[in-house]
Amino acid sequence: MVLNNLGVQECQSRMMRKCHVRFVGEGDTATYALLPDLKKSVNDLPRPIEIRIDPGSKTTGIALVQETQVIWGAELIHRGQAIKSRLETRRAVRRNRRNRKTRYRQPRFLNRVRPKGWLPPSLQHRVLTTMTWVSRLRKLAPIQSIAFELVNFDTQKMQNPEISGVEYQQGELQGYEVREYLLEKWNRKCAYCGSENLPLQVEHISPRAKGGTHRVSNLCLACEKCNIKKGTQDLKDFLKKKPEIIKIIMSQAKVSLKDAAAVNATKSALFQALKTTAIEPIYVGRGSLTKFNRTNLKFPKAHWIDAACCGDVSQGLTLTINQPLLIKAMGWGSRQVVQTDKYGFPRPGYKPKKKVKGWNSGDIVSVIDGKHQGVKCKRIKTTRFKGNFDIRVNDSVISVSRNQLKPVHRNDGYNYSFA
């Protein structure tokens, strides 16, 4: 409804009565449009939206599909490895403290009973963060169904495509001890320098400090000199001047199955958690069908596109967005009372970071005054009671007074960006 001769006083009175008035046009042709009261319910039913999820070990793809259009996409980056590393550090400190300050106690194994369906914190994190975003999207969109890719990896077939029968019960160490197996596999030589007739040590190709496992496919033999020199470096960094040796080692080492195991362990827990949302129906698809749909539609490989293709695409599918929202789980800090330095020793006098006048580390802010004016959408690294906060800008850190900051987004445990 548009009123051409609506006076200013009438507009003000209507606005006082909480009617919504919009100014339309310019100059003498200006009119005022009365909009419906936004507090009243809308009778028109919105078109239903389906949320589609492609679970992954490191990244989970999420897409919102309305009929045949992908209207929103995101890639949720998990922090399972960071949680695992912190738990290992805490365990090492606890064991050291117990051995140092208490008498010897017999291990108590009989009281360690875990409930049914228990998952390690690094895996439970993947389920909880995915459900958090399902709940957030339900508040913003009329989601009426879920499409979920229920993945199941055959880890032994991934290593040996021709495995069958009783071979599933026999590992690659059949008839060997680990060290004897490695001596034969690597021809009793150092894998890095080729030295022979020296004491050889068992070495992790992918370092334990960076997520490497104890699986025999991640083990090789190295002399003491090479083992110490490599330390916790990646193989490509340690042998960057010897690409031919990298190629030989990687050809003998097998692909890690850690990610496949994480997805296998969490798939059922995530499916059961989705059932508790009371959203019906829940369509379950397989990874092969997702790949078939994506190939037929000629879409590029991406987590959010895989999520969009895991449902029904018989009527076609159109991407209305060009890039997904990248959501990275950052955590909420540490609850560990006694922090340690990089050598594992306690840090005396350390206090956990707290809110300062409503500001918290992780808040996204823009600088509106001072010599750093113009810096936009950066994350607070450290807060101080004195009033100066550290803000990370690219590779440098700047110090800005809190009076010169404008909040953009309060810390909610996630970081947001676009590809």
- Candidates 176, 260, 177; CA nearest to 213 is 260
Do residues 394 and 384 touch, judged by C-beta distance below 8 A? no
- pLDDT at 87 > cutoff 70: yes
Burial of 89 (0-12, 13-18, 19+ CB in 10 A): middle
- Cα 160 to Cα 176, 264, 361: the distances in Å are 19, 18, 48
**pLDDT of the residue at 262:** 85
Higher pLDDT, 107 or 272: 272
- pLDDT at 30 > cutoff 60: no
Higher pLDDT, 334 or 231: 231
pTM: 0.69
325-338 pLDDT per residue, tens: 999 998 887 766 77
Higher pLDDT, 385 or 253: 385
In this structure, what DSSP letter does residue 324 have?
A: P
- pLDDT at 135 > cutoff 90: yes
- pLDDT at 148 > cutoff 80: yes
Q: Which residues contact 249 (CB under 8 A, 6 or more apart)?
A: 191, 205, 220, 235, 239
Angle of helix 121-140 relative to helix 80-101, nearest 10 degrees, comes to 140
**pLDDT of the residue at 121:** 92
| Percent above pLDDT 90 for the chain | 17
Confidence of residue 34 (pLDDT cuts 50, 70, 90): very low
Round the average pLDDT of the chain to a whole number and report it: 79
Q: CA angle at residue 283 from 279 to 288, to 5 degrees? A: 150
390-400 pLDDT per residue, tens: 888 888 889 99
- pLDDT at 274 > cutoff 70: yes
Please list the helix, strand and coil fractions of the chain in percent, rounded to the nearest 5, in that order. 35, 25, 45
- pLDDT at 175 > cutoff 60: no
Q: Which residues contact 251 (CB under 8 A, 6 or more apart)?
A: none
- Candidates 297, 213, 283; CA nearest to 253 is 213
354-377 pLDDT per residue, tens: 678 888 888 889 999 888 888 888
List of domains in the chain: 2-35 (no CATH), 49-97+119-154+278-329 (3.30.420), 176-256 (1.10.30), 364-418 (2.30.30)
